[in-house]
Structure 1
Amino acid sequence: MRLVHVRLDGPHVHIEPEFSSFIMSCATDEDRLEHVMVHAGPPPTVGLFLAAESLERAERAACGVVRRALDRRPEFAGTSVVFCGTPFLEPYYEQLLASASPGGGLLMTPPDQDSAER
């Protein structure tokens, strides 16, 4: 299961929680969409959970499903997809590590630029 976020932008973009069921209805079997979460924002963001074989397929399917949904609703005329990808979680884990270990928190220490270790 892969989570893909699709961020929207446009004039007067406002998405309601019920929009998630409409997005589900716009998916095909090939999209392998399992669940949708809608976050009003700002910025308005749709989280899609897909059972895709790869991250690339999940992102492509998520983008396609949301674009189909936007095209089928006149109130979303002028709304565009400004980001379609997996949420980047490293900052969250860095913060957890920093609070747990007073000496830093980097997931991996960068190599010393002055040493042979690179």
Structure 2
Amino acid sequence: MYLIHAKLRPPAVGVDLPPRLAALLGAMTVPEDRLEHIAVHPDAVPYPTLGLYLMADSLREAEQRAQRLGRRWVTDVSPLRGWQLVSAEAPLVAPFYDRLLSSSGLGGLIGPGPLPSS
């Protein structure tokens, strides 16, 4: 299973994602989409983001499937008409964990710490 972030640009400033979007999109999927779960992050910066948990044989396949789903949703789901799919790709989590390590005092890739491996 792969987590793919689909970033959506609103049609205008101040336009929010519709309520209960995960349930709406989930109801529109078919088994061939191999979508397991949707997490909606309306306050993500710079664009609202859908976290799509997809079954796939490779990361490339998961990202391609997420792109197809995103394009289909902004075309076929009336509350998303006018929105644009900006990207659909696996999120980079290394910077997040590196920040956690750095702020903990244990070091990390971007800073020295008390551990020899840092």
TM-score relative to the length of structure 2: 0.76
Q: Secondary structure at the match of 2:92?
A: coil
Unaligned runs of 5+ in 2: 111-118
Letter in 2 for 1:3: L
Taking only the aligned residue pairs, the percentage that are identical comes to 37
Unmatched runs of 5 consecutive residues or more in structure 1: 108-118
**Distance between the aligned counterparts of 2:19 and 2:40, measured in 1?**
6
Q: Tell whether 2:108 aligns with 1:105.
A: yes
How far residue 17 of structure 1 moved from its aligned partner, in angstroms, is 4.4
Contact persistence 2:8–2:87 (CA under 8 A): yes
Number of equivalences: 106
* Alignment pair present for 1:20 and 2:28: no
TM-score w.r.t. length of structure 1: 0.76
Which structure: larger Rg?
Answer: 1
Could you tell me which residue of structure 2 aligns to residue 5 of structure 1? 5
CA contact (8 A) 1:23 1:66 kept: no
Amino acid at match of 1:55: L
The 3-state SS of whatever aligns with 2:39 is strand
SS at match of 2:100: helix
